[in-house]
Amino acid sequence: MKEKKNLILEFSCKGCGTCCKEKGYVFFNESDISKAAKYLNLNPLVFINKYLNYEDSLGYHIKVDNENRCHFLDEKDKCLIHKAKPTQCKTFPYWKEYTDKNGNLISGKFKRPCKGVKVKK
């Protein structure tokens, strides 16, 4: 039987850390930097210098690839700044590229490994 396209999915984070190890970038806006720095009891400039990269075309970010994982993922794959994680992480997987016009997470668009995503019943 052929799978139906564009089924609506639901998400409940399992805290597995899979999304934190996928190749790409974790972006931090000014508010994200401020919150994370405060959570870690650091001055925002110290936080930036210690943890973030900067490129004009990307802004502040952490690059995640085969050699680098997110700085805030511990050895048990748990986020060390979960309560102050950046907007990008807070809104995952409900990003524009994975949702329909109504904000529903759609199977035809979301093709990433995630233990917390399943077909809505």
pLDDT, averaged across the chain: 91
- How many CA atoms, within 13 angstroms, populate the side-chain half-sphere of residue 16? 11
CA distance 14 to 35: 23
Q: What percent of the chain has pLDDT over 70?
A: 96
Query: Residue 44: its pLDDT value, please?
Result: 98
Q: Percent helix, strand, coil in the chain (nearest 5)?
A: 25, 20, 55
* Mean pLDDT in residue range 109-114: 90
Question: 3-34: per-residue pLDDT in tens?
Answer: 556 889 999 998 888 888 889 999 999 999 99
C-alpha span between 62 and 60 (Å, rounded): 7
